[in-house]
Amino acid sequence: MARTLALLNNKGGTGKTTTTLGLGAALARRRQRVLLIDLDSQRNLSAAFTLPEGYTGIGHALVDSLPLHEAMVKVDKQLWVLGSTPALVDYEYQLSHEPGREFILREALAPLQSEFDFILLDCAPSLGTLTVNALTAADGFIVPMQAENFAFLGLDRILETADKAKRRMNPKLELEGILFVKLNPRTTFSKAVVQSLAKDPRTAGRVFHTYIRQDIALMECSAFQKSVFEYAPSSNGAHDYADLARELLQRTGDQSGKHNLEEK
Ligand SMILES: Nc1ncnc2c1ncn2[C@@H]1O[C@H](COP(=O)(O)OP(=O)(O)OP(=O)(O)O)[C@@H](O)[C@H]1O
Ligand SMILES: [Mg+2]
């Protein structure tokens, strides 16, 4: 059975897509079969790959109830992508008028469960129909965020929405973890943010030990349609996403990631 994880934050630019790409590539390098799904009409995830001419993507497949296999593209050993197109906005509008609209993605993913170890859902910066579909289909969600003043306000909203999705549609849904992206752990402010989340009963024990440092290679690699591991194998970005994959895989047994907030 695949473990389906949604990358979620309704604030824009927090590292959802970069994490989907970095974590997905890192898991694939650890011999996991990984499917990345672009649920954002900005299609930043899709743009990191060469998709076929005339590609219609996830939106068309969901609206027309086509098997998702037809829209899946193998992009590397162990790595597949279900991309989006700008028309995803229109498809999302159509889906939002269907009966059982929250369950459409879950239904479509059911036949793929045995084919993958991980399915990563790159959500748009909104809590719209497709994001709610992601929360209904997922086992867990990861919230990439910065240690910033207003990040907390956004987090309250995300946790409330996830809680409703769990109560009403998906009892198995769990917060897989808060992931700090572009973190400088030495500033007083970021330390305060990390500590406060560690104490908050909603997030205590659910902050990844691994954090992602600011690294230009993470910004550049997708423009060159390469994973950070191909583009800059010895970069901090490659190192940090490899650590994140290791921490995620170790969670069931050993809870500690190799490099944690104190060590780096
Ligand atoms: N650790 C990092 N170091 C440097 N740049 C980063 C890092 N993580 C992400 N970025 C850059 O920050 C920008 C926003 O990241 P990303 O696109 O992953 O966020 P997002 O949450 O998916 O955004 P959106 O909400 O628009 O979908 C991108 O230009 C990305 O390359
Ligand atoms: Mg994005």
Percentage with pLDDT > 90 across the chain: 86
Supply the residue whose CA is at minimum distance from atom 5 of ligand 1: 219
Amino acid at 120: L
Residues with beta carbon < 5 A to ion ligand 2? 16-17, 44
Model confidence band, residue 261 (pLDDT cutoffs 50, 70, 90):
low
Using the mean position of ligand 1's atoms as its centre, give its distance from the Cα of residue 181 in Å: 9
Does the beta carbon of 125 sit less than 6 angstroms from any atom of ligand 1?
A: yes
* Stretch 232-239: mean pLDDT: 98
Whether 45 has a pLDDT exceeding 80, the answer reads yes
Helix (H), strand (E), coil (C) string for 62-122: HHCCCCHHHHEEEEECCEEEECCCCCHHHHHHHHCCCCCHHHHHHHHHHHHCCCCCEEEEE
Helix (H), strand (E), coil (C) string for the chain: CCEEEEECCCCCCCCHHHHHHHHHHHHHHCCCCEEEEEECCCCHHHHCCCCCCCCCHHHHHHHCCCCHHHHEEEEECCEEEECCCCCHHHHHHHHCCCCCHHHHHHHHHHHHCCCCCEEEEEECCCCCHHHHHHHHHCCEEEEEECCCCCHHHHHHHHHHHHHHHHHHCCCCCEEEEEEEECCCCCCHHHHHHHHHHHHCCCCCCCECCCCECCCHHHHHHHHCCCCHHHHCCCCHHHHHHHHHHHHHHHCCCCCCCCCCCCCC
Supply the residue whose CA is at minimum distance from atom 6 of ligand 1: 219
Supply the residue whose CA is at minimum distance from atom 25 of ligand 1: 12
Mutate to test the pocket of ligand 1, among 7, 9, 16, 18 (most ligand atoms within 8 A of CB): 18
Whether 263 has a pLDDT exceeding 90, the answer reads no
- Specify the pLDDT at position 260: 52
Whether 164 has a pLDDT exceeding 80, the answer reads yes
Whether 172 has a pLDDT exceeding 50, the answer reads yes
Gap between the Cα atoms of 46 and 211, Å rounded = 24
The average confidence (pLDDT) of the chain is 93
How far CA 68 is from CA of 71, 85, 110, in Å, comes to 5, 15, 10
Ordered by where they begin, the domains of the chain are: 4-8+15-250 (3.40.50.300)
Using the mean position of ligand 1's atoms as its centre, give its distance from the Cα of residue 55 in Å: 24
CB of 11 within 8 A of CB of 123? no
Condensed to tens digits (0 to 9), the pLDDT of residues 132-154 reads 999 999 999 999 999 987 777 78
Using the mean position of ligand 2's atoms as its centre, give its distance from the Cα of residue 7 in Å: 9
Q: Which atom of ligand 1 is nearest to the CA of 21?
A: 18
Does the beta carbon of 100 sit less than 6 angstroms from any atom of ligand 1?
A: no
- Specify the pLDDT at position 251: 86
Does the beta carbon of 239 sit less than 6 angstroms from any atom of ligand 1?
A: no
- A 10 A CB-CB count for 132 gives 24
More confident residue, 252 or 83: 83
How far CA 225 is from CA of 25, 44, 234, in Å, comes to 12, 11, 18
Supply the residue whose CA is at minimum distance from atom 10 of ligand 1: 219
Supply the residue whose CA is at minimum distance from atom 30 of ligand 1: 219
- Specify the pLDDT at position 154: 86
Whether 259 has a pLDDT exceeding 50, the answer reads no
Condensed to tens digits (0 to 9), the pLDDT of residues 9-39 reads 999 999 999 999 999 999 999 999 999 999 9
* Stretch 79-93: mean pLDDT: 97
Does the beta carbon of 219 sit less than 6 angstroms from any atom of ligand 1?
A: yes
Whether 3 has a pLDDT exceeding 90, the answer reads yes
